[in-house]
Structure 1
Amino acid sequence: MAHRWKPNVTVAAVIEQDGRFLVVEEETSDGLRLNSPAGHLDPGESPVEGCARETLEETAHRFTPAALVGIYMARQHGARGEDTTYLRFAFCGTLGAREPGRALDHGIVRTLWMTAEELRASRERHRSPLLLQCVDDYLAGRRYPLALIHVHPSVNGESEA
């Protein structure tokens, strides 16, 4: 049987306060890069749940998604010849207080608050080509209801009654 192509599903948070966006600086095989708080969707979780979890792990802040900013696809070629396509669900919402003493996820060096202009000026350091597109869509007012994403109970291991 031929290999079936499957994109990597990721979730990302677009978090803005006072004209600045919360981003993470992380270690990658290409050096230090900037990205939205983001990561892979885990088995058994919805995109909303995954975004809240990834934001907590990467920033030590609780995050409550309130709207979908967009769904994005991008293809990237890694330093070692990897060819990966990502399907990203980006959310905006409410950032909670930082959890004191909580360590950042492995590979995350620090969090930063950057303006859209600072993000545009640092494109060569973006881990994902989607970082700026998500910010631009957020600034353009793109917001879609969370109900747009239907998660069947079977995702969480529940049987349908």
Structure 2
Amino acid sequence: MTERYKPNTTVACVIEAQGKYLLVEELIDGEVKYNQPAGHLEAHESIISACSREVYEETGLRLAPQGLVGIYQFSASESLAFVRYTFYVQLDKIITSAPIDPAINALAWLTLEEIRSLSPQLRSPLVIKSINDYLAGKHFPLALLNDDYF
């Protein structure tokens, strides 16, 4: 019998202010990587509340997602796969903050061009893909996600 496919459920948030996007810098296997604030869904937690929690832990900002950008399936390797719910928050101005999670080295507000220049250091191709989708107007209501039975 083959092992059942069980992708990790993760959340991420595109946070935009004044044409810049908030990324977190972290050390993964000895290499600096950049990502949107993101993490795993925990037990007894809705997908939307997971997003708020991860944003707070990784940025120190208490923000509620305003909408959904998309749901992405990504295979990082033969044995590591993800289903990533990516949300968005649009702010009027850039907010200075600091991460709570010690695994996050720093925060950076970057333009899309600056993020593209970091391509080899992005945690996954979903960083750029989700920003491009956000810019293309993929803004879906949170009501798409039913958490009545979690």
1:5 aligns with 2:5: yes
Q: Which residue pairs with 2:130 in the alignment?
A: 134
Relative to the length of structure 2, the TM-score reads 0.91
TM-superposition CA deviations, 1:76-123 (whole Å, max 9, x none): 13xxxx731110001112569667xx7521310000001111111111
Cα distance change, pair 138–94 in 1 and its aligned pair in 2 (3 A):
closer
Q: Which residue pairs with 2:29 in the alignment?
A: 29
Letter of the 2:116 counterpart: R
Q: Which residue pairs with 2:49 in the alignment?
A: 49
Paired residues in the alignment total 148
1:114 aligns with 2:120: no
TM-aligned CA deviation for residue 129 of structure 1: 1.6
Paired with 1:104 and 1:128, the residues of 2 have a C-alpha distance of 23
TM-superposition CA deviations, 1:55-86 (whole Å, max 9, x none): 00000111111110000011113xxxx73111
Are the counterparts in 1 of residues 25 and 32 from structure 2 also a CA contact under 8 Å? yes
Are the counterparts in 1 of residues 99 and 107 from structure 2 also a CA contact under 8 Å? no
SS in 2 for 1:15: strand
Relative to the length of structure 1, the TM-score reads 0.85
Letter of the 2:59 counterpart: T
RMSD: 1.9
Cα distance change, pair 16–97 in 1 and its aligned pair in 2 (3 A):
closer
Q: Write out the 4+ residue segments of structure 1 that deviate beyond 3 Å after TM superposition.
A: 94-99
Percentage of matched positions with identical amino acids: 41
Greater gyration radius: 1
Structure 1: which 5+ residue stretches go unaligned?
Answer: 156-161
Deviates more, 1:13-22 or 1:27-36: 27-36
